[in-house]
Amino acid sequence: MQLNWRDIWRFADLQKALNYSLEEMETLTNTYLTQLVYTRQELLEMFEMERDDFVENLLTANTRQSEVFKLRQRALHVFQESIRVKTFVEVAQSPTDGTIHLMKKLMRQSHESLRSLYECSHPNLDQLVELSDKLGVGARLTGAGWGGCIVALCDGVDQSLQYIDYLKDAYYADLAQAQGRNLEEVVFATSPQRGAEIYLEKSGVIG
């Protein structure tokens, strides 16, 4: 199959063009992206591009000064994370006694991938995830990364309350940014809910 790489902008585009499963895309990544780091010069030669073309058409504003690129790590994170999401949905739809345990494991794997492959975590988030592990709570960063929040999965209400108290003592008590703040607004429990919905009122004429 001959593909024009200039028509491929996202991993999803490549997967669709190849008609590959996520698992096959992971294998493809392991087979062909063998280097931990690719230099700009290597990519210029690989794509047979001029430097200006490369910068203008392949790099974003925040990567135009980059000279090395971790293609393997980023691609592996995307495909492996998609596999985890698919697995998470499947076990949620067909729950068993081990469902929560597996979900926690998937969340922990997700955070490790975000930390080591995508490299968008933060030491504070990593500390929160490690503390969560000690209580058997599955946790991962949520949002865009590089700081922010974690989301954690507990066995139930009792464990969630214990977990919140534990974080207040083991983490927030020594955190300078948390001093004087209402911690109820910083660490709190919630439960799965339906997403946002729009209700359209039927229009009609009464008469």
DSSP string, 158-202: HHHHHHHHHHHHHTGGG-GGGTTS-GGGTS------------PPP
pLDDT at residue 5, as a whole number: 87
CA dist., res. 98 & res. 146, Å (int): 32
Regarding whether 127 and 88 lie in a shared domain, the answer is: no
CATH number, domain of 166, equals 3.30.70.890
- Judge contact between 25 and 19, C-beta under 8 A: no
Claim: this prediction has a pTM higher than 0.85: yes
Cα 107 from Cα 137, distance rounded (Å): 10
Answer yes or no: is 90 within a domain.
yes
CA distance 113 to 117: 5
Indicate the pLDDT class of residue 34, thresholds 50, 70 and 90. Answer: very high
- Res 177 pLDDT > 80: yes
The predicted model gives 161-168 an average pLDDT of 97
pLDDT confidence bin for 133, thresholds 50/70/90: very high
pLDDT surpassing 70 at residue 204: no
Number of domains in the chain: 2
Q: Which pLDDT belongs to residue 175? A: 94
Nearest-angstrom CA–CA distance, 135 and 137: 5
Q: Which two tokens stand for residue 128?
A: 């929160």
User: Does the pLDDT of residue 50 top 90, yes or no?
Assistant: yes
The verdict on 12 and 88 lying in the same domain is yes
| DSSP assigned state of 6 | G
CATH number for the domain harbouring residue 40: 1.20.1440.340
Q: What is the pLDDT of residues 70-124, one digit of tens each?
A: 999 999 999 999 999 999 999 999 999 999 999 999 999 999 999 999 999 999 9
State which amino acid sits at residue 61.
Answer: A
Reported as a single tens digit per residue, the pLDDT across 150-162 is 999 999 999 999 9
What is the residue-wise DSSP string for 51-85?
HHHHHHHH--GGGTT--EE-HHHHHHHHHHHHHHH
Is 57 inside any structural domain? yes
- What's the token pair of residue 146? 């590089």
- Cα 146 from chain centre: 12
The answer on 89 and 169 residing in a single domain is no
| Residues 69 and 21 both lie in one domain | yes
Burial of 9 (C-beta count, 10 Å sphere; 0-12/13-18/19+): exposed
Please name the residue that has the structure tokens 């997700």: 110
Per the structure, the complete domain to which residue 148 belongs is given by 121-181
Residue among 26, 39, 113 nearest 14 (CA): 26
C-alpha radius of gyration, the chain, whole number: 22
Q: Do residues 11 and 72 both lie within one domain?
A: yes
Structure tokens at 202: 């039927």
**Position 80 in a domain:** yes
φ, ψ for residue 69, nearest 5 deg? -140, 130
Do 155 and 81 fall into the same domain?
no
Do residues 61 and 1 share a domain? yes
| CA quadruple 86, 17, 20, 13: dihedral, nearest 10 | -30
